[in-house]
Amino acid sequence: MTERFTDTLIQASEPTWTQAVEHRFVTELHAGTVSDAVMAYYLVQDHRFLDSFLTLLGAAIASADTFDARLRFGRFAGTISGEENTYFLRAFESLGVTEEDRAAIPNAEPTTGFQSIMKEAAATRSYAAVLAVLNVAEGLYCDWATRAPEALPPNFVHAEWIVLHNNPEFREFVAFLASELDRVGPTAPDICHDFFLRAVALELDFFDAAYEGGRG
């Protein structure tokens, strides 16, 4: 059996992929022991990630080569703009993070890195490039969230962040992303490798930054 294109990219990204899905942030999140300071800093940074991520989803809608794919991206953009954004606002309230606090916190380097790579992928107008970054952002999160123990942490800030990334609809969307990349990626393997590997490195740096910025 020939190997799936998406799996070859994950393998090429090792050991960074595994270091990210097994990161201290992930093990503490699963255990419900991430400190409020680290969680607050991480979520402030990640809310900014979300803004650029929507731009990337817009590029996916624009560059996809089928109506079915456009519909799926459109529905997913609705979920991100709705329940995921609402999660952030509820989490900020629970953690006591005000709008003023958020405005006063500068971007961590990996946040700026993500904003740049997502803009860069969107600017290529290449569906393959956009899919490479989307597969990292959603596939890597689905990977660590799927490893979570069945018993969820008691704090909704931790529990919902896990469930947002391992629920059946999300897993189905991640499977769709991989099948799309398997289909169109081999027509542009170099660009896919480049975007995929850089995005995986940013995921690892993003988790590290939560401890640097949140003084964990």
Ligand X SMILES: Cc1ncc(CN)c(N)n1
Asked if 6 contacts 139 with a C-beta cutoff of 8 angstroms, the reply is yes
Backbone φ and ψ of 68, nearest 5°: -60, -45
Contacts of 29 (CB under 8 A, 6+ apart): 148, 153, 158, 161, 162
Q: Is position 100 annotated in a ligand binding site?
A: no
The rounded distance, in Å, linking the Cα atoms of 77 and 55 is: 10
Minimum distance from residue 133 beta carbon to ligand X (Å): 10
Minimum distance from residue 216 beta carbon to ligand X (Å): 17
Residues binding ligand X: number (CB under 6 A): 7
Q: Is residue 206 within the footprint of ligand X (CB under 6 A)?
A: yes
Minimum distance from residue 119 beta carbon to ligand X (Å): 15
Residue of 203, 209, 210, 213 interacting with ligand X (CB under 6 A): 203
Over the window 86 to 125, marking each residue x when it contacts ligand X by CB under 6 A and - when it does not, the resulting string is: ----------------------------------------
Q: What's the one-letter identity of residue 114?
A: F
Asked if 58 contacts 77 with a C-beta cutoff of 8 angstroms, the reply is yes
Q: Is position 22 annotated in a ligand binding site?
A: no
The rounded distance, in Å, linking the Cα atoms of 25 and 31 is: 10
Smaller CB separation from ligand X, 142 or 184: 142
Over the window 133 to 152, marking each residue x when it contacts ligand X by CB under 6 A and - when it does not, the resulting string is: ----xx--x-----------
Active site residue 22: no
Minimum distance from residue 170 beta carbon to ligand X (Å): 9
Contacts of 10 (CB under 8 A, 6+ apart): 17, 139
Q: What's the one-letter identity of residue 153?
A: P
Which of 28, 160, 180, 203 is labelled catalytic?
Answer: 203
Smaller CB separation from ligand X, 28 or 46: 46
Smaller CB separation from ligand X, 69 or 108: 108
The rounded distance, in Å, linking the Cα atoms of 64 and 125 is: 9
The rounded distance, in Å, linking the Cα atoms of 109 and 103 is: 16
Residues of span 17-76 touching ligand X by CB under 6 A: 46, 49
Chain-centre distance for alpha carbon 157: 17
- Residues belonging to the binding site are 46, 84, 138
Residues designated as active site? 203
- Residues belonging to the binding site for substrate are 46, 84, 138
The site for ligand X (CB under 6 A) is made up of 46, 49, 137-138, 141, 203, 206
